[in-house]
Amino acid sequence: MEKYQRDAQRVLKLLTYILGRHPDEFGLVPDENGYVKTKDLVKALAEENGLKHIRQKYIDTLFVTIPDLPIEREGHLIRSRRREKLPEQAPIPNPPPLLFTCVRRRAYPVVYKNGINGMGVPRVILATDEQMAKRIGKRYDHQAVFLTVHTKQCLARKVVFYGAGDRLFWAND
């Protein structure tokens, strides 16, 4: 039990950091209320060395066994209780000239014809570096198609870009 308590405290400290300070470092973009999908958080954690054991059941156990958690959840969403240090998601009038994203291989023909739509969400997550975009893309499709987005062209089409930390942006029409 003592080993579990030490591991749980270490995991909670990390979850508080991710959800309350730098979700972008792990390829996560919280919604307007600071929530991320728990399954997206679990996928991001599984990409890190030493954290592959953290699954949905592990997080469920934290909520049952530890009182006064620094995180909270609502349905399938999870967030930090302290979110004052989360990066502000404000419109960015001059994003970097190139941003990167991935789409599911099966969706690529439609994307090629009609443009990018979010992967199950009303916004498109874009990364400042190729590795982060590929990391996020693999969470949804191991054969995701990598895309480069020319932001100048998007801005001309009235696409609005929002900052989501140092490494991520999101956009919608």
Residue 167's contacts (CB-CB under 8 Å, 6 or more residues apart) are 24, 25, 27, 127, 128, 129, 132
pTM of the predicted model as reported, rounded to 2 decimal places: 0.87
pLDDT at 119: 46
Question: What string of pLDDT tens digits covers the 173 residues of the chain?
Answer: 576 677 788 889 999 999 999 999 999 999 989 999 999 999 999 998 888 888 999 899 999 888 899 999 999 999 999 999 998 889 999 999 999 999 999 988 888 887 876 545 578 999 999 999 999 999 999 999 999 999 999 999 888 999 999 999 999 75
Question: What's the CA gap between 9 and 28, in Å, rounded?
Answer: 22
Angstrom CA distances, 98 to 82, 138, 154, stand at 33, 20, 11
pLDDT at 121: 54
Angstrom CA distances, 96 to 24, 83, 116, 161, stand at 16, 26, 18, 10
